[in-house]
Amino acid sequence: MKQQTISQLISSIKRGEISVVEHIEKILEEAKQTNVMLNHFNIIAKDSALKQAKEIDAGLKTGRHKGKLLGVPLSVKDCICVKDIESRAGSKILSDYFPLFDATVIAKARAEGAIIIGKTAQDEFGFGTFSNNTGVGFEKPLNPVNPKRSCGGSSGGSAGFTGATKFAHGSLGQSTGGSIAAPASFCGVVGLTPTYGRVSRYGLIDYANSLDKIGSIGKTVEDAALLLEVISGHDVNDSTSLQEKVSGLSDLKPSSDLKIGIAKDFFEGCEEGVQKECMKAIDKLEKAGSKIEEISLPLNVKYGVAAYYLVSTTEASTNLARYCGMRYGLHDKIEGSFNEYFSNVRSKGFSQEAKRRILLGTFARMAGFRDAYYLKAMKLRTKLIKEFQEAFGKVDVIVNPTMPIVAPTFSEIEELSPMQEYAMDLCTVPANLAGLPHASVPVGTSKKMPVGLMITANHLEEEKMVKASLAFEEVCK
């Protein structure tokens, strides 16, 4: 059976062919059954989802309900706040935290008729590449293609369920260093990450403020583009939110007129099967009329990962200092000095990886080390952005493998040291460090697992990113 797109679902709902309540009941049941095996959800919001579905069905009878996402089931990464639904960013430290408000992206999606069906599993606070760094008490989400393998991280549950469900569905993910693109690649779905500031971060539980971006995950480019279109736009509640007009991304068509830059530096070190599938897709697009040019990004390849981890851990260390066990989330019996209480709660609430990144970031911002590490990384970040800008003077979009490998087994991940795991982000962190919009689109398979191609555009050029993504999707059908 051909997969139904979000736009097709909405058309069926508007024609009265599908009851929203019945559709939501079916996907909730699927989510429940799938979750037993694959752990894609931390929370399934059955009651609130059905309540909203009933309201939409009632409104349809009187012609009151409209919207670009009318009746569309939407899963949400756990770090994005949803009113009255426990939102923990995958961490025990935020146990029993029920936000009193919707994040801006949730409010926008709801206003267009989307129905929140649950909060998806992730690496704690986004700290991971494979969704294996889940917080204390959380289960690892498993790959829908092969449960012995990783979903990718940190938006693993979002991409995992999108790949697993047989229903039209969208998901909101969040990316700091590749956390939308990586799981999209591993699970064989589409992930769109916008320009930094294009989508409001208000209501996002932060990892690193200068890097965090909320984006979309869908089965098709059209699905993900529609969702990104809805959540984009200026927000007075977010000082980093951009005021540039948002185009109709969902109305775009594939374009083979774009000039494609192949970032050959990022192909080196990738598995042979990954390189082969990505080059095969590029060759198909060239035959369809696209102009292909090799480009080089040597500074990004050499220094991108190091600069990213210095910036991100420093900002994470500052952000996570707020979890002291007194305001909200995990708390304990108050006794001893503040430092003793503070250390006790945080020792219980944070996972090993969270503690590692807090320690690294705290060291990098200490007096005597801040200039040598954090500020030097920020200066290097400027040079890396400049290198991208020079490349975009020659090409419209840049392509490379999203990940250097296909989804690994959990036993393979266990053999990696933290440094080796961080190095897996080589292809995704440069674009994130530069705040550039990028997509991951499935282009083939290797070892019977999906391979994703990453398509990066210049700042605020989401249109080119989507047009190129549609083109690759079309030639790789």
Is 376 noted as a catalytic residue in this protein?
no
Q: Can you give the pLDDT at residue 1? A: 43
Catalytic residue among 91, 158, 179, 232: 179
Q: Is 179 a catalytic residue?
A: yes
Helix and strand numbers, DSSP H then E, in the chain: 16, 11
Residue 63: per-residue pLDDT:
78
Q: Tell me, what DSSP letter sits at residue 217?
A: E
How many distinct structural domains can be found in the chain?
A: 1
For residue 445, what are the β-bridge partners? 450
Q: How far is CA 120 from CA 4, 75, 76, 355, in A?
A: 22, 7, 6, 22
Could you give the angle at the alpha carbon of 91 between the alpha carbons of 85 and 93, nearest 5°? 95
Q: Please give the structure tokens belonging to residue 467.
A: 């047009």
**The pLDDT value given to residue 3:** 73
- Residues written for the chain: 477
Spell out, as residue ranges, where the chain has pLDDT lower than 70.
1-2
Residue 187's nearest CA partner among 416, 404, 423, 440 is: 440
Contacts 24+ apart (CB under 8 A), 18-21: 18/71, 19/57, 20/53, 20/56, 20/57, 20/60, 20/71, 20/115, 21/50, 21/53, 21/54, 21/57
- Chain position carrying tokens 């809805």: 230
Q: Which two tokens stand for residue 144?
A: 């829908």
Question: Which structural domain, as residue segments, surrounds residue 49?
Answer: 1-477
Neighbours of 140 (CB within 10 A): 20
Query: The domain spanning residue 86 has which CATH number?
Result: 3.90.1300.10
Running DSSP on this structure, what letter comes out for residue 149?
B
Query: Distance between CA 82 and CA 104 in Å, rounded?
Result: 10
pLDDT number for residue 118: 98
Among the listed residues 75, 91, 154, 158, the single catalytic one is 154
- Judge whether 77 counts as a catalytic residue: yes
Q: At what angle do helices 6-14 and 221-231 cross, to 10 degrees?
A: 70
Q: What is the pTM of this model?
A: 0.97
Selecting among 68, 77, 108, 140, the annotated active-site residue is: 77
Return the C-alpha torsion angle 43, 47, 52, 56, nearest 10: 120
User: Are the C-beta atoms of 217 and 159 separated by less than 8 Å?
Assistant: yes
Question: Which H helix or E strand runs over 360?
Answer: helix 352-364
